[in-house]
């Protein structure tokens, strides 16, 4: 199997797994039971890992919360801000192409009486295809807006959002800004010293860490207003009473190691996956007449290097996937592939439902090789030809 679905998940880097192991097997103390040495050593290793995560993202260590992943982080950020007892504002702004882990939280708030504005993104034929329409964002803001939540980078078309501009617009109206940075952290620079976003969510398994661990970071917040979160999980009072439950030093150390490696290797990995994506796209274009790209141009700085999303002439993505079972890729978003509806990201970009159904997504990762891409092209082209 050739794995080209690195937006859905990535394999755990063996160096990350190696760092985790001693904290699972040998040094297994509870980091919250610090009355003895085993608890204290676990706590101190975990604290050092949290400090490393914080320094890579440009926030203070005490503004990092460890969660089970980005879904939980998004829930905690959005619900936590909007449902806090001291929250007076009742309006939330988001984009039309967020992950369901944002859209569903916002929809539930709407059911509970919050006002929600879903701002569209620029259409596929616009130079800023996939980026949120900043004029419409500014027009959506009012003095009742509690939160603007816009993802940093998209999991289907790889588009990178103008987070600094989004944050400036939100802050001007006195709203907080959360970004689901799940596809961005570990792939592109996310420095909250330079980009004034208040909260970001991420999951370790998107950058070669294990599944089941993620984070929510809270930077400064806008002057005069603190980021206050209503806890979702209550219990032992861990993590400053915001997220109870025994923390896993192994998971936190894995997250920190994965992020450290990703930051250290990011330029090299970006070049490499960019080259492999170019090779894949050239091969597909040569073998499949009429195939076209969805989202920003491949040489655009608005698009993440490993992402390729394309539309097939004549056949549905699902059929192509079935005919090419030796290659792992996805139609629409793998995270919501239980849902047979065409991708809301592609229809949000202005594609018709039928065009969205004829679209597929590839995510190239750091462990892919040029030989794998050549072989994948052969399989994909012959699979396509067997169907038309």
Q: Catalogue the long-range contacts made by 288-293 (C-beta closer than 8 Å, 24 or more residues apart).
A: 288/312, 288/313, 288/380, 288/381, 288/384, 289/313, 290/314
Looking at the DSSP bridge assignments, the partners of residue 217 are 64, 200
Q: Is 201 helix (H, G, I), strand (E, B) or coil?
A: strand
What radius of gyration do the chain's Cα atoms show?
21
Contact 13, 261 (CB under 8 A): yes
- Closer residue to ligand PLP in complex, CB, 101/150: 101
- Closer residue to ligand PLP in complex, CB, 102/227: 102
Q: How far is the CB of 27 from ligand PLP (least distance, A)?
A: 26
Selected catalytic residue, list 12, 310, 324, 335: 335
Q: How far is the CB of 377 from ligand PLP (least distance, A)?
A: 25
Query: Which residues of this chain interact with ligand PLP, rule CB under 6 A?
Result: 69-71, 99, 101, 151, 155, 180, 182-183, 203, 205, 214, 335
Contact 302, 122 (CB under 8 A): no
Q: How far is the CB of 72 from ligand PLP (least distance, A)?
A: 7
- Closer residue to ligand PLP in complex, CB, 169/216: 216
Q: How far is the CB of 17 from ligand PLP (least distance, A)?
A: 18
Q: Is 178 helix (H, G, I), strand (E, B) or coil?
A: strand
CA angle 155, 100, 257 (to 5 degrees): 50
Residue written as token pair 């750091």: 366
Q: How far is the CB of 289 from ligand PLP (least distance, A)?
A: 31
Q: Is 335 a catalytic residue?
A: yes
Q: How far is the CB of 94 from ligand PLP (least distance, A)?
A: 12
CA-nearest of 207, 190, 274 to 15 is 207
Q: How far apart are CA 56 and CA 364, in angstroms?
A: 24
Contact 322, 328 (CB under 8 A): no
Q: How far apart are CA 164 and CA 195, in angstroms?
A: 5
Give me the phi and psi of 214, to 5 degrees please.
-150, -170
- Closer residue to ligand PLP in complex, CB, 183/217: 183
Q: Identify the DSSP state of 143.
A: T
Residue 229's CB: how many other CB atoms inside 10 A? 23
Both tokens of 195, joined, read 């980009």
Q: Is 226 helix (H, G, I), strand (E, B) or coil?
A: coil
Q: How far is the CB of 209 from ligand PLP (least distance, A)?
A: 10
CA-nearest of 186, 88, 173 to 138 is 173
- Closer residue to ligand PLP in complex, CB, 10/319: 10
- Closer residue to ligand PLP in complex, CB, 31/332: 332
- Closer residue to ligand PLP in complex, CB, 91/205: 205
Q: Which residues are catalytic?
A: 335
């Amino acid at each position: 199997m050739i794995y080209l679905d690195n937006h859905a998940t990535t394999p755990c880097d063996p160096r990350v797994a190696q760092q985790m192991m001693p904290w699972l097997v040998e040094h297994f103390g509870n980091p919250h039971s610090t009355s003895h040495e085993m608890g204290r050593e676990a706590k101190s290793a975990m604290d050092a890992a949290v400090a490393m995560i914080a320094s890579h993202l440009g926030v203070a260590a005490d503004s990092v919360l460890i969660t089970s992943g980005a879904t939980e982080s998004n829930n905690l950020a959005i619900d936590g801000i909007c449902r806090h007892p001291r929250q007076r504002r009742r309006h939330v702004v988001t984009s039309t192409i967020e992950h369901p882990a944002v859209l569903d939280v916002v929809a539930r708030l709407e059911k509970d009486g919050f006002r929600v504005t879903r701002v569209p993104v620029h259409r596929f034929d616009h130079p800023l295809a996939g980026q949120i329409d900043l004029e419409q964002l500014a027009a959506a803001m009012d003095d009742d807006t509690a939160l603007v939540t816009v993802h940093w980078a998209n999991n289907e078309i790889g588009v990178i959002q103008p987070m600094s501009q989004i944050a400036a617009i939100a802050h001007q109206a006195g709203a907080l800004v959360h970004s689901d940075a799940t596809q961005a952290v570990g792939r592109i620079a996310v420095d909250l010293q330079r980009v004034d976003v208040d909260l970001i969510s991420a999951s370790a398994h998107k950058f070669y860490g294990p599944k089941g661990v993620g984070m929510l970071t809270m930077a400064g917040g806008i002057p005069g207003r603190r980021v206050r979160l209503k806890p979702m999980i209550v219990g032992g009072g861990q993590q400053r009473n915001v997220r109870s439950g025994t923390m896993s030093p192994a998971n936190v150390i894995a997250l920190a190691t994965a992020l450290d490696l990703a930051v250290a290797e990011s330029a090299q990995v970006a070049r490499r996956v960019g080259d492999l994506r170019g090779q894949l796209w050239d091969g597909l274009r040569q073998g499949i007449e009429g195939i076209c790209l969805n989202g920003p141009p491949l040489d655009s700085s608005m698009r993440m290097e490993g992402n390729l999303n394309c539309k097939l002439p004549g056949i549905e993505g699902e059929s192509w996937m079935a005919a090419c079972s030796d290659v792992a890729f996805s139609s629409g978003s793998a995270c919501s592939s239980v849902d047979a509806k065409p991708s809301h990201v592609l229809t949000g970009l202005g594609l018709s439902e039928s065009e969205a159904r004829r679209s597929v997504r590839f995510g190239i990762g750091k462990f892919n090789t040029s030989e794998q891409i050549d072989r994948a092209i052969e399989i994909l082209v012959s699979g396509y030809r067997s169907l038309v």
